[in-house]
Structure 1
Amino acid sequence: MKGTIVSAWIKTSRNIFGEDVVRDALATYGISENKVFTPMEDIEDSIALGIIDEIAKRLGKTPSEVWHEIGLDNINTFSKDYPAFFKFKNLYAFLKAMYDIHVVVTKRIPGAKPPILKVEPLEKNKATMSYSSPRGMFDYFHGMLMGASKYFKEDIEVEILEKKEDYTKIAITFPMEVYNKRVYKLNSFLSLGFIKSFQLKVGLGVLLFSGIPLAILSNYLHGMPLLIAILALSFLIPTIIGKLLLRPLKYIFETIEDLENKDFSFERNISTNDFLEDINNRLNKAKNSIKRDFVGYKAIVDELNVFGEKFNEISNNMTNTSQEIDSIVRQVAYGATNQAGETENIAYQLNDSIQNLNCIVEKENEGKDKLQLTVDKTRKGFENLKNTVDNLNEIVGEFSIVKEKSFTLKNRAQDVTKIVETVEKIAEQTNLLALNASIEASRAGEYGKGFSVVAMEIRKLAESSKEAVSNINNILEAILMEIDELVSDIGRQYGILDEEKSNLNNLSIETSQVVESIKGVANLIIDLVSDLNKESEAITSMSEHVESLAAIAEENSASSQEVSKNVTNYINEIKNMTEKTAEFNKVSENFAKELDKYMI
C-alpha cells in the first residue's frame, strides 16, 4: 500500500479520534508519531490495516465502524490534497470520473494499485456502481461514498445489489437526473430491426406512406385527381418522413450546445438505429475522452501551480544569493585594487626586512659559537658535579659503617651496665651473709669471736664493693648517656648527610636532564640558524617575485571589476526570470480558471 493513502488515513484519524489514540496505535508497530509517509513509499498491508485495527481497539469500536468514519471524513482530506479531482458539476460526474482519476493517480505514483470503480447509468436518476479491491474494505468505500455525497450536497439512496469477498455492486439513486435516453419509435420501426441506412428508411417510409396509398387510390381515382394526389403525396410524405426521422437532430444539437457552453457533465443518449445514433454515440465518446483529458489537465494545473510557487521561491532565493555574491565580488574588487597598491609597498618593506634579517643572521651565527662554548662548559661542570656526588656517596657509605659501630658500642655499654648490676646484687648478698655470720658468731660467744671479725671484714668489703659498684654504675650511666647522645648525633648527621646525598643525586639527575635539554636547545638553535640562513636566501629570492605579484594583483583588480559587472548582469537576468515566473504563475492560474469553465 502506498504511503500517500496511509498518510491520508493517519491525517484523517488524527482529526477524528485525536493525537493520543493515533500515537499509541503507531507505537504498536514501532512507528514514530512524527513519521512522514512519502507518496512512493510502500507500506505493508498488515501494518497499514493493523494501525486502524489498533485505533478501533482503543476506541472500543469495531474496525468496520472506524473504517466508515475514516472514509466519511477522508473526502475532506483528499479534496484539500487534490482539489482538481473534485471540480465536478455533481456527484454522479465525480463518481463517473473515479476510474479516470485512479488512472491519473497510478501514473503519478508508479506501483499504486487503487480499487477499480465503474459507474453505469441505469435509469433517469439511478446508476450502478461496482467496487473491486483485493483488500475488501467495503465499509471504507461506503464511508467515502457518503462523504462524497455530503461534499457535493446531494442526498442519495444506496442499495447493495451484490457482494463478494473482493467485489461489491450497488445501486445509487440521485436527487437529480443523471441519465437520459430517448427512443424514436419511427426511426426504430423503419429500421425493421436491421436497416441502419437513413436513405433506405426514407425510401421505406415513402413506400409505406406514399407508394402503397397511391397504388390503392389509383383504383378509385383517375385523371387529374389522381395526378393531384400523386403530386401532393410525393411532396408531403417525403417531407414529413424526413422531418420525423431527423427529429433526433434537435437532441444532438442540444449536446452540441452543451459542448459550446463547455458543459460536459450530462450525457444524452438516443435510440434510432441509424447514423444519427452513431453521431450521438461518437459525440458522447468524444465528450468522455475530453472529460478524461480534463481530469489529467486539472491535475497538471495543480502541479504547475505548485511548481510555479516552488520555482518562484527558488528564484527569490537566487536573487538574494546573487545580490550577496555581487556585494562580495564588489568587496573583492575593492580589495584587489587595494592589494595591488599594498603589494608594491610590501615589496619595499620586504627589502628592508631582508636587510635586517641578514644582520640578525650574522648575530645569530656569532651567538651560535658562544652557545657552543657555554654548552661545553656546562657539560664539564656536570661531570665535576657527578664526581662530587660519587665521592659523597662513598662518604655516606663509610659514615653508615660508623653509625652501625656506634649502635654496637651502645649495646656493649648496656651489657657492662648489666654486669655491674649483677656485681651490685652479689655485694648486697655478701653483705647480708656477713650480717648473718656476725649474728651467728655472737651467739657462739667466745668461740665465735674470730669468725665475727672475719664476718665484719667481709661486710666492710661488701659495702666497699657496693660503693665501688655504685660509682662504676654512675660512671657507666654518664658514659651511656654520652654514647646515646653520640649515637643520636651520628644518626641525625647521617640523616642530614643521606638527605643531602639524595638531593645532590636528584640535582645531578636534573642537571643531567638540563644539560641534555641545553644540548637539544643548542642543536635546535644551531639548526634554526642554518634554517634561518636558508630562509634568508629564500626570502631574498621571493622578493624578486613580489614585483611580478604586484602586476598580477593589478590584473586581478581589473578581472574582479569585470566579474562584478557580469554578476550585476546575472542579477538582472534572474530578476527577469523571476518576472517571467510570475507571469507563468498568472498564465497557470488563468489556465486553471479557463479549465474551471468546463463542467465535467
Structure 2
Amino acid sequence: MKVAIVGAGKGGTAILKSLARLDEVHVSVIIDTNVNASGIKLAKKLNVDTSTSIEDINPVDTDMIIEATGIENVANTLHDKYGDDCKIIDSQGAFLIMTLVERDIETLEKLDAQMSAINETSLVVQNRLEEIATSVEDIHNVSEMLVNTTEASNKYIEESDKIVQYVNKIAQQIKILGLNANIEAARAGEYGKGFSVVASEIQKLANESENFAKEINDILVKLSTEIEKINNEIDNLKKLSQVQLDASNSVSAAVEKLKEETDN
C-alpha cells in the first residue's frame, strides 16, 4: 500500500515513524508548508519524498491519503481533488491512528530501553563470568602446582626414611661394638678401665643416634599424614573449581541465549 501524509507536525511525524516500520506500507510523500517541521526532517532521514504542496500528490501512485493537519480547508481540498481516486482518512481518523501510533512508539521505546538494559547487564555478567573462569583456571594451576609439590615432598620423605633406616643400622652396629668393647674391658680388668669409659661413650652415642633416628621417623610420619591431608584438600578444591566452572559455563550459555533472543 502506498500512502501520502499531509501534515508533518507531531501527528504526521508519529504516523510516519510507525508506518516506516511496516514492510507492507510505503510512504510515497509527506507534505507540509513548514520545511522545518519534524516530520519533514524525519522523512529526509528515511529517504521519503517531501513537498510543501498537496498538488505534488500523484493519485496514480497513491492508494491512501492521511490528512494529519486537522485543518478543515485542507481536508475539503483533498476530498475535492483526490476523493475519487484515493481513500482519504480525515483528521479524526488520523487522530485515532496517531493515538495508537504514539502508544505503539512508547511501548517500542520502553522495549528498546529494556533490551538495551538487558544487553548492558548481559555484557557485565559476561565479563564477570570471564573473570570467574580465569580465576578458576588460576586455582586449577595452583592445585597442579600443589600436587607437584606434594609429590616431590613424598619423594623426599621416602629418601629421608631410607637415611633414617641406614642411621638405625649404624646405631645397632655401634651398640654391638660398644657391648663387645665393654666385654673386652671387663676381661682386661684394671687395664681395661680406660677402654671401658670409651666403650660406654660409644654405647651412649649409639643410644642417642637410635633415639634421634626414631624422632626423625616420627616427624616424617606426621609430615606424610599432613601431606595426605593436603592431597585430600586439593581434590576437594578441584571438585569445587569444576562446579564453579560448570556453573559459570551454564550462566554464560544462558546469557548468550538471552542476547540472541533480544537481538532477533
**TM tier, smaller:** 0.5 to 0.7
Correspondence 1:399 to 2:139: no
**Secondary structure of residue in 2 paired with 1:502:** helix
What secondary structure does 2:201 align onto?
helix
Q: How does 1:314-333 map to 2 (within 5 A)?
A: none
Distance across 1 between alignment mates of 2:115 and 2:233: 47
Note if 1:494 corresponds to 2:238: yes
Mapped to 1, the partners of 2:134 and 2:204 lie a distance apart of 63
Q: State the aligned residue count.
A: 168
Partner of 1:437: 181
- Partner SS state of residue 168, structure 2: helix
1:380 to 112, 118, 123: 123
Counterpart contact for 1:389–1:508, Cα < 8 Å: no
Query: Deviation per CA, 1:221-244, whole angstroms, max 9, x where unpaired?
Result: xxxxxxxxxxxxxxxxxxxxxxxx
1:370 aligns with 2:113: yes
Q: Does 1:462 align with 2:177?
A: no
Query: Are the aligned partners of 2:122 and 2:255 in contact in 1 as well (CA < 8 Å)?
Result: no
Gaps of 5+ in 1: 1-350, 524-600
Please say if residues 403 and 491 of structure 1, whose CA atoms lie closer than 8 Å, have aligned partners that are also in contact: no
> What is the one-letter code of the residue matched to 1:373?
S
1:416 Cα offset (Å): 1.8
Could you tell me how far apart the structure 2 residues matched to 1:514 and 1:425 are? Answer: 72
1:427 aligned residue (171, 192, 216): 171
Q: CA deviation at 1:403?
A: 3.0
Q: Distance in 1 between matches of 2:171 and 2:104?
A: 97
Match of 2:159 among 401, 415, 420: 415
Flag the 1:367–1:410 CA change in 2: closer, same or farther, 3 A.
Answer: same
Give the 5 Å matches for 1:12-411.
358=101, 361-381=104-124, 382-411=126-155
Task: Decide whether the 8 Å contact of 1:407 with 1:487 is kept in 2.
Answer: no
The residue identity in structure 1 corresponding to 2:225 is M
Q: 1:518 to 1:365 in 2, by over 3 A?
A: closer
Matched, 1:451 2:159: no
Q: Given that residues 431 and 462 in structure 1 are in contact (C-alpha distance below 8 angstroms), is that contact kept between their aligned partners in structure 2?
A: yes
How far apart, CA to CA, are the structure 2 residues paired with 1:495 and 1:366? Answer: 46
Distance 1:462 1:424 in 2: 9
Deviation for aligned residue 1:363: 4.3
**Alignment partner for residue 227 of structure 2, among 451, 464, 483?**
483
Q: Deviations over 1:295-343 (max 9, x none)?
A: xxxxxxxxxxxxxxxxxxxxxxxxxxxxxxxxxxxxxxxxxxxxxxxxx
CA deviations on 1:205-231 (whole Å, 9 max, x unpaired) are xxxxxxxxxxxxxxxxxxxxxxxxxxx
- Shift of residue 389 of structure 1? 1.8
Matches of 1:439 and 1:514, distance apart in 2: 93
The question of whether the paired residues in 1 share the 8 Å contact of 2:167 and 2:213 is answered with yes
Q: How far apart are 1:359 and its partner, in Å?
A: 6.6
Return the alpha-carbon distance in structure 1 between the equivalents of residues 262 and 137 of structure 2. Answer: 27
| Residue correspondence of structure 1 range 514-553 to structure 2 within 5 A | 514-519=258-263, 523=264
Cα shift at 1:433: 2.2
8 Å contact 1:430–1:458 — kept in the other structure? yes
- 1:508 pairs, out of 243, 252, 255, with 252
What is the one-letter code of the residue matched to 1:420?
Answer: V
Are 1:400 and 1:494, in contact at CA under 8 Å, matched by a contact in 2? no
TM-score scaled by structure 1?
0.25
Structure having the higher Rg: 1
Work out the CA distance in 1 between the residues paired with 2:258 and 2:148.
37
Over aligned residue pairs, what C-alpha RMSD do you find? Answer: 3.0
Gaps of 5+ in 2: 1-92
Mapped contact 2:140–2:238 kept (Cα < 8 A):
yes
Superposed displacement of residue 358, structure 1 = 4.9
2:115, 2:262 within 8 Å by CA — same for their partners in 1? no
Report the alpha carbon displacement of residue 375 of structure 1 after superposing the two structures with TM: 3.6
| Distance (Å, rounded) in 2 between the aligned partners of 1:496 and 1:363 | 47
Q: Distance in 2 between matches of 1:418 and 1:510?
A: 57
Partners of 2:168 and 2:213 within 8 A in 1: yes
C-alpha displacement of 1:504: 2.0
Residue type at the aligned position of 2:165: E
Distance in 1 between the 2:142 and 2:215 partners? Answer: 36
Helix, strand or coil: the match of 2:231? helix
Q: Which amino acid aligns with 1:505?
A: N
Shift in Å, 1:517: 3.1
Distance in 2 separating the partners of 1:430 and 1:490: 44
Are the equivalent residues in 1 in contact too, given 2:143–2:237 (CA < 8 A)?
Answer: no
What letter is aligned with 1:493? L
Q: Which residue of 2 aligns with 1:131?
A: none
CA contact (8 A) 1:392 1:501 kept: yes
Shift in Å, 1:357 = 6.3
- Aligned residue type for 2:123: K
